[in-house]
């Protein structure tokens, strides 16, 4: 009897031990339980993390220098691809190749002690622009013309699907700069010189991320499932207002002007649940944004109540000093003290991890600053559902460059074009053009060049030239498809005088503009169209009725040519769907676009924006001629 009771006691103790072990396991995995509140999950995970694991979460490295073993050994929290060779998985990589790469790196993160998934980011700034055969939408300078937040939201949703098609859940978009000087090389990334239009265009954020639930707390990041991506409002703040339009320069303006022009779109983005915000390379009144504690911590985090994470620009803390990387220890301290949470260090991530670890252990950087950063990063990851769905699947590949998205991009092109001139030739204006002309000329360096048509940030950082790098429709191809089969379309990129004298055309379409550029490579003090563009305009339009379509990232010098041309169209950077241009030229749809930027007469007038006392433009803000669609017979 005693033995029997003793065995009962032993069995009871064993059962209790198993029960306690089970409860401990449940407690241990609390941060992995999607039924728990995000705050509880963050707290549970944070208390389990070592300093090394926390600093790993604050590190974003370029894909080209990482393996899955690196992800595991250094606890890397984030990876990015920049549009440079080696950073993408392969030239003309398929969605499967992208997903394989992302998942391989993710497997390294998931094999760590705590299994914290990494977040992969990419610049999808006008569609999924780094990826072969994606839909390339018009750049922001054109989209601002539409003043159509519903369209912008649709573009955001389409972009999210295409980004997810490659297994990526995070994009460094939108750029909500207010470009106040077109000499700035990133002006085409800005929707308008008018902060009200830029604020309106933040509707792309719920397109990318999904609509925030009713009653959500202000500033809390939200990403609505596996068809959406985390967005990034950039570049915080004032990057579009630099002196003389110098990229990464100094925005010299008082607080009233600064907060009324450059801040409103950020406030709106935060209300819409934007997950991340990127600091700018630029300065405000001499203080670099990457070390501006007042604007990043005091204002953005504490006043505006932003609860997502703040990410640096690419090697942004390196540029706190001059020359770059001259005092990396100081740069890390300054960036951390400012309130940056995730550091886009790019290639030299081991040096960053080593130095930040030393600075924290030796109390140069307080642990509370590290904890604030990691909590914010984890909050975004939890809100994205990364812990529940860390690996990408292959089922989204069908969305990349799909016809529905190309149709949407074509609609966007139609709404971005602005008709600046449409003089009467004989009895009627030149536009819309006749589809049944006998013989027409298409000329100009940009008529049959998809790379020029898309601009910078397309497949490669600085863009490209030619038609074999990605898929799309050039304006020349669109013209041939639009006209009557009996119409003879002659293409001559840069016809000479003899050619023009020997040929007889009903009219000519001349497509010229800027060559692709990105960031500081696009800074321009003269804003002229490169040759042979001006020569082509004069030679062709001096010989035959012509419409000139300008493919540019901003207003450029055109006053010398205005009298020569019969019709003039601001085509901006329309992207891959050239049919959107011909839809308007041939009258299938009417022109509706109104300038969201002032078109200057001379660069000597710059900077000049609507409302300025010296306002004397060639074409004022809001200008745009309209046409009615041609009646279908």
Token readout for 343 is 């550091």
Of 594, 133, 150, the closest CA to residue 411 belongs to 150
Question: Looking up tokens 């009615």, which residue turns up?
Answer: 628
Question: DSSP labels for 278-326?
Answer: EE-SSEETTEEGGG-HIIIIIIIIIIS---SEEEPPTTTGGGGSSSTTT
CA distances from 515 to 134, 250, 455, 627 (A): 21, 26, 7, 29
Question: DSSP labels for 73-114?
Answer: HHT--EEEE-SSTTTSSSTT--HHHHHHHHHHHHHHHHTSSS
238 sits in the region (left: phi over 0; alpha: psi -120 to 50; else beta) called: left
313, 411, 448, 514: the catalytic one is 313
Compute the Cα dihedral for 205, 209, 213, 216 and give only its sign: negative
Spatial separation of the C-alpha atoms in residues 442 and 586, rounded to whole Å = 14
Spatial separation of the C-alpha atoms in residues 469 and 515, rounded to whole Å = 16
Q: Does residue 336 contact residue 363 with C-beta atoms inside 8 Å?
A: no
211, 423, 493, 519: the catalytic one is 519
Q: What is the DSSP letter of 125?
A: S
Of 626, 615, 628, the closest CA to residue 569 belongs to 626
Spatial separation of the C-alpha atoms in residues 33 and 207, rounded to whole Å = 28
What does the chain come to in residues?
633
Spatial separation of the C-alpha atoms in residues 50 and 508, rounded to whole Å = 68
Report helix, strand or coil for 460: strand
Spatial separation of the C-alpha atoms in residues 514 and 180, rounded to whole Å = 19
Instruction: Give 586's contacts (C-beta < 8 A, 6+ positions apart).
Output: 432, 433, 435, 482, 483, 630
SS3 content of the chain, % helix, strand, coil (to 5): 40, 15, 45
CA distances from 85 to 275, 315, 459 (A): 28, 18, 10
Spatial separation of the C-alpha atoms in residues 172 and 190, rounded to whole Å = 14
User: Can you point out the beta strands (E) in 459-570?
Assistant: 488-492, 507-513, 546-551, 567-570
CA distances from 508 to 293, 502, 546 (A): 56, 15, 5
Does the annotation count 313 as an active-site position?
yes
Spatial separation of the C-alpha atoms in residues 597 and 623, rounded to whole Å = 9
Measured CA angle at 465 (ends 461, 467), to 5 deg: 115
Does the annotation count 519 as an active-site position?
yes
Give the residue numbers marked as catalytic: 313, 519
């Amino acid at each position: 009897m005693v033995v029997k009771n003793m065995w009962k006691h032993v069995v009871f103790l064993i059962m209790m031990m198993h029960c306690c072990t089970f409860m401990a396991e449940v407690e241990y995995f609390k941060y992995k339980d999607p039924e728990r509140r995000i705050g509880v999950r963050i707290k549970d995970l944070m208390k389990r993390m070592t300093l090394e694991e926390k600093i790993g979460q604050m590190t974003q490295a370029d894909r080209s220098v990482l393996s899955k073993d690196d992800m595991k050994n250094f606890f890397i929290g984030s990876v990015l691809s920049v549009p440079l060779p080696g950073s993408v998985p392969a030239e003309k990589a398929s969605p499967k190749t992208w997903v394989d790469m992302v998942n391989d790196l993710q497997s390294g993160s998931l094999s760590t002690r705590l299994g914290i998934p990494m977040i992969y980011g990419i610049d999808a700034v006008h569609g999924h622009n780094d990826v072969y055969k994606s839909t390339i939408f018009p750049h922001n300078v054109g989209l601002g013309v539409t003043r159509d937040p519903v369209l912008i939201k649709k573009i955001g949703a389409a972009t999210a699907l295409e980004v997810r098609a490659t297994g990526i859940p995070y994009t460094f978009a939108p750029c909500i700069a207010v470009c106040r000087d077109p000499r700035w090389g990133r002006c085409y990334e800005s929707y308008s010189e008018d902060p009200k239009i830029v604020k309106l265009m933040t509707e792309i954020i719920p397109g990318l991320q999904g609509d925030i639930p009713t009653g959500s707390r202000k500033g809390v990041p939200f990403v609505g499932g596996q068809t959406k991506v985390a967005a990034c409002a950039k570049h915080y703040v004032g990057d579009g207002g630099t002196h003389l339009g110098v990229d990464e320069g100094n925005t010299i303006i008082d607080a009233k002007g600064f907060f009324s022009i450059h801040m409103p779109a950020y406030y709106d983005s935060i209300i819409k649940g934007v997950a991340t915000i990127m600091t700018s390379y630029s300065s405000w009144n001499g203080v670099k944004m990457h070390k501006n504690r007042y604007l990043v911590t005091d204002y953005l985090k504490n006043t505006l109540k932003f609860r997502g994470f703040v990410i640096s620009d690419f090697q942004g803390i390196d540029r706190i000093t001059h020359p770059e990387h001259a005092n990396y220890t100081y740069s890390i301290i300054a960036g951390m003290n400012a309130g940056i949470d995730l550091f886009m260090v790019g290639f030299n991530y081991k040096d960053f991890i080593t130095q930040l670890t030393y600075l924290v252990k030796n109390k140069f950087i307080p642990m509370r600053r590290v904890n604030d950063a990691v909590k914010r990063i984890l909050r975004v990851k939890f809100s994205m559902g990364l812990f529940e769905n860390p690996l990408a699947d292959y089922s989204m590949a069908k969305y990349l460059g799909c016809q529905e998205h190309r149709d949407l991009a074509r609609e966007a092109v139609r709404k971005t074009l602005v008709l600046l001139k449409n003089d009467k030739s004989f009895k009627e204006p030149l536009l819309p053009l006749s589809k049944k002309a006998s013989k027409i000329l298409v000329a100009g360096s940009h008529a049959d060049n998809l790379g020029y048509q898309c601009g910078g940030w397309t497949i490669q950082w600085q863009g490209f030239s030619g038609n074999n790098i990605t898929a799309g429709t050039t304006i020349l191809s669109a013209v041939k498809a639009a006209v009557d089969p009996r119409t003879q379309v002659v293409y001559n990129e840069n016809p000479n005088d003899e050619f023009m004298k020997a040929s007889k055309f009903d009219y000519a379409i001349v497509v010229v503009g800027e060559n692709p550029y990105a960031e500081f490579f696009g800074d321009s003090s003269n804003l002229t169209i490169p040759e042979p563009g001006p020569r082509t305009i004069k030679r062709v339009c001096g010989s035959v009725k012509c419409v000139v379509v300008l493919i540019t990232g901003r207003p450029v010098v055109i006053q010398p040519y205005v009298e020569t041309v019969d019709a003039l169209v601001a085509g901006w950077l329309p992207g891959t769907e050239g049919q959107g241009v011909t839809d308007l030229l041939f009258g299938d749809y009417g022109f509706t676009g109104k300038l969201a930027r002032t078109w200057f007469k001379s660069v000597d007038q710059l900077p000049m924006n609507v409302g300025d006392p010296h306002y004397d433009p060639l074409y004022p803000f809001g200008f745009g001629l309209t046409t009615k669609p041609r009646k279908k017979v």
